[in-house]
Each structure stands twice: as C-alpha cells, then as structure tokens.
Amino acid sequence: MIVTPLAAYLIVAALLFAIGLAGALTRRNAILVLIGIELMLNAANLNLIAFWRYGPHPEALTGMMFAIFSIAVAAAEAAVGLGLVISIYRHTHTTDLDQINRMKG
C-alpha cells in the first residue's frame, strides 16, 4: 500500500487526536484534561494545513486562514479554561476530577 503525503499527515493528525482524546478521558487532573483538549485542537489544525498544502487552490488561503483563526480561538479557550480550573481549585481545594462531583458549591 502506497501512502500519499496527505494521507501520512492525516494519519499523524489522527494519532495525535487519539492521544489527546485518551488523555482528556483518562487523566484525573483537570489541567491534564485541558492539555488533552489542546492536543486535539492542534491535531485538527494539522489536518487543515495539510489539506491546504495538498489541495487544489492553495493560493486562495482558505485552509491557512481557518488554521490561524483556530489557533486564536484555542488561545482564548485555554485562557478561560485555566481560569475556570483555578476558580474551581479555590472552591474545592482540589483539581482531582473524581472528587469534584457536585454542581453546587
């Protein structure tokens, strides 16, 4: 089986996405869950850039712009997410997700 360059990048991105998903679903620490989510977002960015590079019209910049805006939105997400983790830690004195099981403070 011959793997094209695009398929090779897509496989790497899929593997990175699966690693991030496994991290987000299995780790106990809330910050590590956020790290897993960041890895998943980055894997999606790699897909966008790979399709931009091997797509029919790279000069239209569509995939590139999508990736750049995605990076900006992910940065905003990280800031809010980590702010939430710090706020929850102040409330419950733990970042262990197995112990944070009440909606009411």
Partner 1 sequence: MSIAFYPLALLTLAGGLAAVMLKNTVHCALALTVAFAGLALLFLELDAQFAGFAQILVYIGAVAILVVFAILLTKGSETPASGIFSSTWLVGLVIAAGVFAVLSWAVLQSVSALPNETAVPAITVHDIGNALVGRYVLPLEIVALLLTAATIGAVIVALHEKVGEK
Q: Hey, which residues between 16 and 75 contact partner 1 (CB under 8 A)?
A: 16-29, 31-32, 34-36, 38-39, 42, 45-46, 49-50, 52-56, 58-59, 61, 64-65, 67-69, 71-75
CB of 104 to partner 1, least distance (A): 15
With respect to partner 1, which residue has the nearer C-beta, 25 or 103? 25
Provide the minimum distance between the beta carbon of 55 and partner 1 in the complex, in angstroms, as a whole number.
Answer: 6
CB 97 within 8 A of CB 29: yes
DSSP three-state, residue 98: coil
CA pair distance 84, 74, nearest whole angstrom: 15
Cα(43)–Cα(60) distance, rounded to whole angstroms? 22
Q: Which of 37, 44, 77, 104 binds partner 1 (CB under 8 A)?
A: 77
Compute the least distance from the CB of residue 102 to partner 1, in Å.
17
Angle at alpha carbon of residue 103, lines to 78 and 18, rounded to 5° = 45
Can you read off the two tokens belonging to residue 54?
Answer: 């091997």
Residue 4 Cβ, how far from partner 1 at the closest point, in Å?
5
